[in-house]
Amino acid sequence: MGQTNVNLAALIGSRICHDLISPIGAINNGLELLGMSDDRDGPEIDLISESVGNASARIRFFRIAYGAASDQAMGRAEVVSILNDTMKGGRLTVAYGPLDEKPRWAVRMAFLAIQCLETSMPYGGRIEVNCDNGAWTITGYSQKSNPDDTLWSLLDGTEPEDLAPAHVQFALLPAVANDAERTVTGEIEAERMRILF
């Protein structure tokens, strides 16, 4: 996947997220109005509200992970908000370590790495994101991890074959890293997995 294809895929991702976030926001606004006008509170409205919230959180995450990236800075508060909303109610927790602003392209790579770990930790666990002098380390801790060696080999640049849509992050991360003149390394140990770039 060349740079042009990576950029084109990112623009497509940005467009999809941009087009979806507006109707989801409108549904959420409609639910709020419905709740105020009819004074309805029930399991149906709660379920719809929760689903809309989850969809909105995932789109915000995808917009960074799969959208066009730049040198534009992202503050810690924004990144933590996206991660907390995305992981709310799930089996994973994510601790985002950097205190200062980071370029959007670097946060994008961190989000893709988080998705790789999320796929490898189906029973949950903890993910820690750290950056030391520009070197990023994303570490997953789980007592019941299930890393797929074939998928993890993609992080080292192996060409993907018959890649499922749910695993696209394993192929995209090294391609994005290559564009950023970075190298991705994956490490698997007992109860711990790390992705470095």
Write the CATH number for 130: 3.30.565.10
- pTM for the model stands at 0.85
User: Are 26 and 82 contained in the same domain?
Assistant: no
Q: Please tell me the total count of domains within the chain.
A: 2
User: Does 93 lie in the same domain as 183?
Assistant: yes
At 186 the three-state DSSP class reads: strand
Task: Write down which residue in 9, 44, 68 finishes a domain.
Answer: 68
Final residue of a structural domain among 44, 68, 92: 68
How is residue 11 written in tokens? 């623009």
Are residue 43 and residue 86 in the same domain, yes or no? no
Read off the pLDDT of each residue in 124-141 and give the average, rounded to a whole number: 97
- pLDDT of the residue at 18: 67
Q: Do 24 and 83 reside in the same domain of the chain?
A: no
Domain identity same for 62 and 116 = no
**Residues 73, 133, 95, 100, Cα dihedral to 10°:** -40
Do 78 and 45 have their domain in common? no
Residue 7's domain spans which residues?
A: 1-68
Range in 109-113, 114-118, 159-163 with the lowest mean pLDDT: 159-163
Kindly state the DSSP code that residue 103 receives in the 8-state scheme.
Answer: E
50 lies in the same domain as 119: no
* Domain co-membership, 156 together with 64: no
- Same-domain status, 119 and 133: yes
Last residue in a domain, options 68, 98, 114: 68
pLDDT tens-digit readout, 31-81: 777 677 655 666 777 777 777 788 888 889 998 999 888 899 999 999 999
Main-chain dihedrals φ then ψ at residue 194, nearest 5 degrees: -135, 145
Residue 2: is its pLDDT beyond 50? no
Helix axes 168-179, 104-120, angle to 10 degrees: 150
Position 37 scores a pLDDT of 65
At residue 1, the pLDDT reads: 41
Shared domain for 159 and 90, answered yes or no, is yes
Question: Looking at the structure, do residues 32 and 94 belong to the same domain, yes or no?
Answer: no
CA–CA distance, 178 with 3 (Å, rounded to integer): 8
Are both 136 and 190 inside the same structural domain?
Answer: yes
